[in-house]
Structure 1
Amino acid sequence: MKAFISALLGYDPDQKNLEGGILGVVKAYYGCVEAQGRGTLHCHMLIWVEGGLNPNEIKQRALSSDQSDSEFCKRLLAFLDDTISNAIPSEPQSKVEVPSNHHHPCSVHLNQTLSPERQQDLHNLVSKCQSHEHSKTCFKYWPGPPEPKTCRFDLHEDNFRAESSFNSETGEICLRCLDGLVNNFNATIIEAMRCNMDIKFIGSGASAKGILYYITDYITKSQLKTHVAFSMLELAVKKLGEHNPLQDELTVRAEKMLQKCAYAMISQQELSGQQVASYLMDFEDHFTSHSYRNLYWTAFEGFINRQLPSPEYESDTEYEPPFLNELLDDDQENEADGNDLPDEEQEIGVSIDGSGKLVPVGSQLADYHKRGSELDGVCV
């Protein structure tokens, strides 16, 4: 992956490389390594390209009648057609001998750079790695008749679009699709990496939000770390082991049930052989160009909804928005009482320090709410 980032993406942390890589000048990236059901490791990565416009800006320029915006749209579509392919390349007119004719393309490399050999090798590689065949997995979310039976990967032989274009009403980019059963790929990446891949441009339309949400949720989801689970379980066992003569039999049985549930939860944590080997060899499980801090948004969202409920916020009582001075008075009273956060937000969390010991940590919501006056300009 490091070779992919440096050689193919051409990422320069000093931002001095003005030529960039196969996608242009890469501004930032974030990728997470995950194991699939069979244990194979693969990486999901978001890549930000220097000079890239956000979806709203692309939509505005696509719907604009200005001549310069029209030229911009043509250049953007040409770039996408050159970067993203979804059809099996044709074979050379004459028979060409390459290693992938006799072995699986992922297991061999082509040492020649001549055009006919590369064309034959790319044909073999895409045919084996990118061509889709429907299986039970494609329809596992199908509710059954009378609903139509469609592939959940949106791959179907009827999918065809001769050329890329912009939707004149919505500004959405409609990329060409020459073969509905071939997954998107980049020729240079698949030649170098020798494995199946997918590539998407997140640029416009409602689908951009859906793709961004899916990828972000996918690469940021975390699993319960085994050492953290055992540390927490150790603390729980110590608490449960403290004898209390006032406890009745039901309480003791409940504590034992909780202990059994914790053991069962930990026993279900699975690691593939590839993951174990990767960790033992000190390989990274994520790749990033920048440093990030986790933000647990649900706590902030819940606090805001309690202070200023939105129409979508579920509440048993009818809400009347307070005046600003009432909010200020409430804040002053709460600060005086030292009780400006609900009980559930004042709980102390636990984390693991560098030595593996449990240490208490404050909540991000409390840290933000209690920030000093010099940080008044900081906003989440």
Structure 2
Amino acid sequence: MLLWIKGALTPQEIRDKIMDPFSDFQRKIVEYLEAVHIGEFMTGSMDKVKHEVEIEKNQNTNYKDPTQTLPEAPPPFCDCNNCEKCENLSTWWKEYAKRVDDLILRSNVHDCGRNKSGKCKARFPRTLYDQTEVDSNTGALNVKKGEEWINTLSPPVTYLLRCNSDVTSLLSGTAIKAIVAYISDYVTKPGLKTYAIFDAIRSVFRKKRKGKKNCNTS
């Protein structure tokens, strides 16, 4: 899915503003990007999340795989900070962070499939950044990233969809063109050629024949 924010600046306008030394646009866009997507877990490192998930699975008899459940809506909003509603909302947010981390652990951690040269086909592990960096020459942004084996993602999207996702801010014309081509190719995949279908059928029949022979000989 590709979303274009209505009224948004063009990639070139964003780059020009980031490069402007007299503007606080750079600080604001960094704050915005770090708020809408992350490259790490919400409650700690991967090892910490694994440990806490394992403890919950063993100790909580009501624990369920979050990828097999529906998201729970938050309780009514209240910001008086001194009532039962506020306490319920605070508890929900803590549970939300735990569930998002559990979902990330189950569905977003890359399980590497390397090619013949030993390199990961999906270009993992990814480069880590302790804080968002701005390339002073090009204006490109490298968003803060704390885990090398997961993509950047949006916690609300992960919580709602409960599956693997990859959320990226596209700040260049090249990146936008590349993702449009990728999505178009993905959603318009042609069906199998006729010869490929018949070859698959033949393989199934061959396996069944071999199975019958083995049964007869035994």
Residues 103 and 57 of structure 1, relative CA distance in 2, 3 Å threshold: same
Aligned to 1:179, what secondary structure does the other structure show?
Answer: coil
- Structure 2: where are the runs of 5+ without partners? 75-91, 202-218
Question: CA offsets, 1:343-370, max 9 Å, x none?
Answer: xxxxxxxxxxxxxxxxxxxxxxxxxxxx
Conserved? CA contact 2:71–2:160, under 8 Å: no
Displacement of 1:88 in angstroms is 1.7
Give 1:195 deviation, angstroms: 1.2
* Pair 1:125 & 2:103 matched: yes
CA distance 1:59–1:105, shift in 2 (3 Å):
same
The structure 2 residue matched to 1:107, chosen from 50, 53, 68, is 68
Cα separation, 2, equivalents of 1:81 and 1:130? 18
Q: Which residue of 1 aligns with 2:195?
A: 264
Q: TM-score, normalised by structure 2?
A: 0.65
Which residue among 120, 124, 134 is the counterpart of 1:155?
A: 124
TM-score when normalising by structure 1: 0.40
Cα distance in 1 for residues equivalent to 2:165 and 2:15:
28
Q: Looking at secondary structure, tell me which structure has more helix per residue.
A: 2
1:90: which partner in 2?
Answer: 43
Whether the aligned pair in 2 keeps the contact of 1:170 and 1:205 (CA below 8 Å) is no
**Correspondence 1:146-295 to 2 at 5 A:** 149-156=118-125, 159-204=127-172, 206-219=174-187, 221-223=188-190, 264=195
- Indicate if the aligned counterparts of 1:130 and 1:183 stay in contact, CA closer than 8 A: yes
How many residue pairs align between the two structures?
A: 175
Q: Aligned-pair distance for 1:214?
A: 2.7
What is the aligned-residue identity percentage? 19
Larger radius of gyration: 1
- Other structure's SS at 2:109 match: coil
Once the two structures are superposed, residues 233-286 of structure 1 have per-residue CA deviations (whole angstroms, 9 ceiling, x without a partner) of: xxxxxxxxxxxxxxxxxxxxxxxxxxxxx853775799xxxxxxxxxxxxxxxx
Moved over 6 A (4+): 95-101
Structure number having the greater strand percentage? 1
The CA RMSD measured in Å over matched residues stands at 3.5
Post-superposition offset of 1:182: 1.6
Q: Report the residue type matching 1:85 in the other structure.
A: I
Is this contact kept in 1: 2:39–2:146, CA < 8 A? yes
How much does 1:186 deviate? 0.8
Secondary structure of 2:4's counterpart equals strand
User: Per the alignment, do residues 263 and 151 of structure 1 end up closer, same or farther by CA in structure 2, a change over 3 Å counting?
Assistant: closer
Return the structure number with greater relative CO, CA threshold 8 A, min gap 6: 2
- The 5 A counterparts of 1:348-363 are none
Following superposition, the deviation at residue 162 of structure 1 comes to 1.2
